[in-house]
Structure 1
Amino acid sequence: MPQYNPPLRDMQFVMHEVLKVTDEFKAIPKHADVDVDTINAVLEEAGKFAAEVTFPLNISGDDEGCKLDKTTHEVTPPKGFKEAYAQYVEGGWAALSCDPEYGGQGLPFVLNQCLYEMLNSANQAWTMYPGLSHGAYEALHAHGTDEQKKLYLPKLTSGEWTGTMCLTEPHCGTDLGLLRTKAEPQPDGTYRLTGNKIFISAGEHDMAANIVHLVLARLPDAPQGSKGISLFAVPKFNIGKDGALGSRNGIYCGGLEHKMGIHGNATAQMVLEGAVGTMVGAPNKGLAAMFVMMNAARLGVGNQSLGLTEVAFQNALAYAKDRIQMRSLSGVKAKDKPADPIIVHPDVRKMLLTAKAYAEGGRALAIYCTL
C-alpha cells in the first residue's frame, strides 16, 4: 500500500539548524515573536492534515476523476474532496501567511511553503484547488483597488472563495502577446469579457462558494503584443455591493482535460460570454500585475516537484525493503528468505540515495527561497 510520512524532522533540521530561521525573523518586526515551538506546532498539525485527511483521497480521487454536467456546466470533484476542503478552511490553513488586516494569521510565508510541500506529497490533485488562491490573493493585494481588496481578500484569506489564473488560450500559451480575449468597457466602470481560456487548474468546482478568476484580456484600443494586455477579476458568481452572491456570471466550464496523475483536479476549458469583471491594475499593464501571481505559481510548481519527489522516495524505499531478488554481493543478508531485499544491491542503493538527496536538497532550496 502507498504510504506517506511527513518529513518533519528534515524540515525542522533545515529551518532550525541550517538556516536558523528564528534569527532571521527577529529582524522582521511582524515575525519577531515566531519561535521554534510555534514553527514545530504548525508543521506537526500541517503534516497530520496532509497524511490523515488528503492522502487517503489520492488514489480514489484519481480513479474517480471530476464530472462535468454539460447542461449546468458545473463540475463535481471526486468523493471526499469537498469535505477535505471544508476541514482545510476550518483549520485556518488558507489564512496561514495572509495579512491580518484581511483575517490572516500573518505567519511567515516559509510555513506556507512547508504546508504545501506536504499537501503536494499527499495529494497533488486536491492541493491544486486551494493552491492558486494564494497567488490570486497576492496579485490583488499588490495591484487591486481598495474596493477590490475589501471585496475579495477576506474571502480568499478565509478560503471561502478560491482563485484561478486564466492566461492560456487555444492558440497561444507561452506567447501571451497573441491572446484574443476581449474586454469591453461598460458605463458602470465594469468590463464585459469574451473569449476562451484552456488548461485552467481548478477552473470550476463546488468546493468553495465562489471562484475569483484572474483573466488576461485586451481592451478595444489596446496595442498589439504583450504591451496591450490588461488584467481583470472575474467572479464565478456576481457579487452585490453588500458582498452577497448573486446570479451566475458569464464564465463557465466548457470541457475538462484529463491530465495524467491529476484526474482529481478540474483542469478546465473556460468560456467567457460577456462575463462581468473589474480591472486589476492599470490598462495595458496586466502582464506586470499577473506576474505577481505567476511568480507565486512558479514557486508552487517547484514545490509540487519537491512534494512528489519526497513521496516517490518514501514509497521506493519501502518497496526496496520488501521486494526480494537475488543475493547480496557481500553475502546472504536475509537467511530466512530465498533471496535478499533489493535494497542490499549497490545500484538500487545509489538510486535511492540520489532520490533522497534531490528531496533534501530541493527542500533546503525551497525553504531558503521563501524566507
Structure 2
Amino acid sequence: MRRRPATRENSDRAMPKIMIVTDAWHPQVNGVVRSIETTNRELAAMGYEVAMITPKPFPSIPMPTYPEIRLSLATYGQIARRIEAEKPDFMHIATEGPLGLMARRWCLKKHMPFSTSYHTRFPEYVRTRVPVPLGWLYAYVRWFHNRGGACMVATESLRRELAAKGIANLCLWSRGIDLALFHPRPQSDQPFGLTRPIFMTVGRVAVEKNLPAFLDLDLPGSKVVVGDGPARAELEARYPDAHFTGVKFGEDLARAYAEADVFVFPSKTDTFGNTILEALASGIPVAAYPVTGPADIIPEASGAGALDEDLGKACLAALSRSREEARHLAEGFTWQAATKQFLDNVIEAKTQAKRRRLSLRLPVRPADA
C-alpha cells in the first residue's frame, strides 16, 4: 500500500483527505460520473478519505438544450464553507462548470494547490449547443486549468493536442474496467428479437455522440442503441429500423454488451471512451474513427477492432476481428493502476505548487557578465 504523505493538515487524523469537486454527478449517467465513483472506491481501499462537492444538495437549473444536466446555483460562500469544514489535504477539481469555478476561486484565494481533469472536449461540447467561437472557449480552458498544478487527461494523443493549444502541467490519468462484470457470455440467436449481426452503440443519446454517422450506415443485420438522452425521441422517429433499449445498468448492461457482434463508437469528441473498454472486456470488437480515444486504446495490430475514416468500412472489418483479442486488450486496463496515476498526479500538483512558491521567494540571480 502507498505510504500516506505526512502533512500538517492530516497529522492528527488517520487518513489523508482528498476533496473532489464535480459538476457531473448522479442522476447523470456518463463516463465522468463512473470514473469518479470508481476512483473514490479505489482511493478508499488505498487508505485515503474522499470528500465530495456535487450539485446534489444545491438548487439548480436545467442546462439549456440538455435538461438532464443540472447547473448548480450554489454560492461561493456555500462552497467555501464546505471546503473549510472538510479541511482537505488535497483538492481536485474535476469539471469546468459552476462548482468547479467556485472551488478554483477558493483555492487561488487561499493559496491551496489543486489539480484538475479534462474529461470532455469542453469547447467542442459547448460549440455544438451555443454559437461561441472555439478560440474563445479554448482561452477559457487555458485560463481555468493552467493555474492548477496538474491537469489530468486520459490519453497521450490528447495530451499532445492540448499542449499545442497552450494548456500546461498535463499528465496522464487513464481508465479501468470492471473485468468481473463485463466479460464474454454465450450469445442468443436473436438478441432483442433482432437479426444478426448486431451492431451496437452504448452511451448518452445526445448530439455530441455523432449517432447519425452510425445510424445512417447501410449495414447487414441490426442496429442497437443502448442509452438515453435529449436526442433520443428525434432519433427514434428518424430511424425506425434501429432498436433503442433505453438506459441499462449493471448486469443488464453487461448482458446487452455481450450480445453484440460489433461495438460501434461514432463519437469524434470524447477524450477516452469508457464504453470502448466495456465492449472489449465483453469480447466485442470495436469499430470507430481513428481519433483520440479509440486510437489510443486500440493499437492497429491488436486485432481487437477496426479504425477507419469510413465508419462503415470499420464496422464491416470489425466483424472479422477476434473476440479473444478484444478481451485480452481490455485486461490491460485496471482501476487500481488508473487510481494510482490519479493519486500520483494529485500529490504532484501539491509538490509543484510548493516549488512555484519557493521559486517566487528566491532572489533573482543576475546574469553572468
TM-based fold match above 0.5: no
Q: TM-score, normalised by structure 1?
A: 0.30
Q: Which has the higher helix share?
A: 1
Q: TM-score, normalised by structure 2?
A: 0.30
Ranked by relative contact order (alpha carbons within 8 Å, sequence separation 6 or more), the top structure is 1
